[in-house]
């Protein structure tokens, strides 16, 4: 496992490797990602094999600027400019009509492409040093937990990439909010940027996604799940393992914060820790159900499906 500190020399080295068609695991503000040069079709194709990811599940193209994004999208509507000004770089992904030359491998065969600008100096630095856009899903085995720190990265996956850049613990801890701007603005995957925040910027109502085509990552019923079976419960007994909101009553209970942003930031790491205990199953005490917890509930529903 080649783990590198995010020095200028190391970032330049990783950029060169990506330009040569290799893969790397990079930190972002959301989760760690498995990166390939978005302009290298074969390197992008290999992402699916490395993760065991279905070919119809589109990838997000990570860019370092809106100018770079213009090489992938057919148009940037006013709504995209407004959201980019408010939230980019940051945990927001825009789904837009793609340019004809964008590989269908990236888009899962769709006529749209997902674009985001990550807010992490190491990831941005690599893209800028190599003048690279990156196709980069979460650095997990398909349907597994997304890593939010280097220790969580699957060993088998780590051994198949050129390097891992250790950028510390991810600031948000869950994947980006994804919004489709090809018609009426529609949130396809909730994340750290809320529907209400987006509505405030666009000055209009934004829909939540309905059933239909998987035009975004993270739309499978089960996803972002620990290896250990888990379920949402009203409470846990003093001898039962799991995630709690109050003081733990045994060594197999982990207390998570009552603030939704902090809960999200710690969620995957807590589930990964419970995975190390060899438990037959664990419970997750249900958090509040108000709108501030929408993204958390989305991830809990997928983890327990």
- Find all residues with CB under 8 Å of 53, minimum gap 6, and list them: 47, 137, 142
CA dist 105 and 41 (Å) reads: 7
Question: Tens digit of pLDDT for each residue in 93-146?
Answer: 999 999 999 999 999 999 999 999 999 999 999 999 999 999 999 999 999 999
Q: Walk me through the domains of the chain, giving residue ranges and CATH numbers.
A: 3-173 (3.90.870.10), 230-304 (no CATH)
Beta bridge partners, 61, equal 115, 135
CA dist 296 and 264 (Å) reads: 6
Q: Are 99 and 71 in contact (CB under 8 A)?
A: yes
- Does the structure show a pLDDT above 60 at 211? no
Q: Are 270 and 287 in contact (CB under 8 A)?
A: no
Residue in the block written with tokens 């198949």: 160
pTM score of the predicted model: 0.95
> For residue 92, what pLDDT is reported?
98
> For residue 222, what pLDDT is reported?
79
Using CB atoms within 10 Å of the CB of residue 155, give its burial: 0 to 12 exposed, 13 to 18 middle, 19+ buried. Answer: exposed
> For residue 292, what pLDDT is reported?
95
The DSSP letter of residue 99 is P
Q: Give which of 165, 186, 168, 169 is closest to 177, Cα–Cα.
A: 186
Question: Tens digit of pLDDT for each residue in 60-74?
Answer: 999 999 999 999 999
Question: Tens digit of pLDDT for each residue in 228-274?
Answer: 999 999 999 999 999 999 999 999 999 999 999 999 999 999 999 99
> For residue 221, what pLDDT is reported?
75
- pLDDT band at residue 220 under the 50/70/90 scheme: low
Strands 186-189 and 177-180: antiparallel
């Amino acid at each position: 496992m080649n783990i590198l500190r995010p020095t200028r020399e190391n970032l330049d080295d990783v950029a060169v490797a990506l330009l040569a068609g290799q893969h790397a695991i990079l930190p972002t503000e959301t989760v760690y990602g498995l990166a390939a040069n978005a302009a290298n079709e074969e390197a992008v194709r290999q992402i699916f094999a490395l993760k065991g990811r279905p070919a119809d599940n589109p990838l997000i193209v990570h860019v370092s600027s809106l100018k770079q994004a213009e090489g992938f999208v057919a148009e940037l509507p006013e709504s995209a400019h407004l959201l980019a000004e408010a939230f980019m770089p940051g945990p927001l992904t825009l789904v837009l009509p793609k340019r004809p030359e964008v590989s269908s491998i990236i888009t899962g065969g769709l006529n749209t492409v997902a674009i985001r600008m990550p807010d992490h100096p190491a990831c941005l630095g690599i893209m800028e040093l190599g003048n690279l856009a990156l196709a980069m899903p979460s650095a997990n085995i398909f349907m597994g937990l997304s890593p939010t720190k280097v220790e969580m990265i699957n060993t088998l996956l780590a051994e198949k990439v050129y390097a891992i850049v250790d950028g510390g613990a991810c600031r948000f801890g869950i994947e980006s909010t994804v919004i489709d701007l090809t018609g009426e603005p529609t949130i396809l995957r909730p994340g750290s940027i809320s529907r209400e925040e987006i509505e405030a910027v666009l000055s209009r109502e934004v829909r939540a996604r309905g059933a239909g085509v998987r035009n975004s990552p993270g739309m499978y019923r089960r996803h972002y799940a620990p290896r250990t079976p888990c379920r949402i419960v009203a409470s846990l007994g003093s001898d039962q393992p799991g995630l709690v909101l109050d003081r733990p009553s045994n060594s197999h209970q982990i207390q998570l914060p009552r603030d939704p942003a902090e809960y999200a930031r710690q969620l995957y790491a807590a589930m990964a820790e419970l995975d190390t205990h060899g438990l037959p199953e664990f419970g997750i005490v249900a958090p509040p159900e108000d709108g501030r917890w929408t993204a958390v509930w989305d991830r809990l529903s997928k983890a327990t499906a």
